[in-house]
Amino acid sequence: MSPDRSSLGLQHIMLLAGLSRERLDQLARRCLWQTLPAGKPLLLRSERKSDVFFLVSGRLRVTIYAANGRQVTFRDSLEGEHFGELAAIDGQSRSADVVTLTPSVVASLDRTAFLGLLRDEPVVAERVMRSLAALVRQLSERVIDLSTLGVQNRVHAELLRLAQAAGIEGNCARLEPAPTHAELANQISTNREQVTRELNALRREGLLAKEGRALVLTDAQRLVRMVEEVRGAPEPTPCR
């Protein structure tokens, strides 16, 4: 077994952090390991599979395709993350498609082994609960945004989310590689042309700049204020 298909690969999975080497060895032997090229479907919506997946390396996209072919993107998964726990917990079909964005190594753990892991390792069970709670909050916020905000404000909110995920330093954030206009449109349920129009407006206002393959947010605090004003929430502590 190669290093990235052993306990060494699982050491970087955040859900499993702190488990003993012996326990990780047991899990690695129980996992099914896959090496996938970019653009390869890993899971399909409505499949009755119930494995949990660990992203050892690479990048994946969680998305769905409507009957008319329109894509709606939920989130991207990065190295060290896990996914698929909903189907493992309730035994129901998958709720979304998952496709690789870059060449990826994925380890999957069957439902029986995953539920046993939750029973045997309370710290892992707690992390799963926290992850699901965060997912509910994220989806609730997204439903509110889609229901109450116009396209302009949804673009602002999505850029702020991406900036916070990338890390805000000195009131700036660097998104590299920059998300495409089509990707942003899929995230906020609109079309590419509307996203292009709003990004151009932000560039004219000096809030965005293009640097090579990166998109730079030049005034994060201003964007925070713009988003919070339309959401009607109290203004948070300024980013430091």
- Bridge partner residues of 21 (DSSP): none
State in words which class domain 150-231 has: mainly alpha
Domain 3-144, CATH among 1.20.120.80, 3.40.50.620, 2.60.120.10, 3.40.190.170: 2.60.120.10
Domains 3-144 and 150-231 share a fold: no
Q: What is the pLDDT of residue 74?
A: 84
Residue stretches of the chain with pLDDT short of 50 = 234-240
DSSP the chain: --GGGSHHHHTT-GGGTT--HHHHHHHHHHSEEEEE-TT-EEE-TT-----EEEEEESEEEEEEE-TTS-EEEEEEEETT-EE-HHHHHH----SSEEEESS-EEEEEE-HHHHHHHHHH-HHHHHHHHHHHHHHHHHHHHHHHHHHH--HHHHHHHHHHHHHHHH-EETTEEEESSPPPHHHHHHHHTS-HHHHHHHHHHHHHTTSEEEETTEEEES-HHHHHHHHHHHHTPPPPPPP-
Give the domain ranges of the chain.
3-144, 150-231
Q: Which tens digits make up the pLDDT trace of 12-59?
A: 999 999 999 999 999 999 999 999 999 999 998 878 889 999 999 999
Dist CA 76 CA 228 (whole Å): 24
Q: What is the pLDDT of residue 240?
A: 45
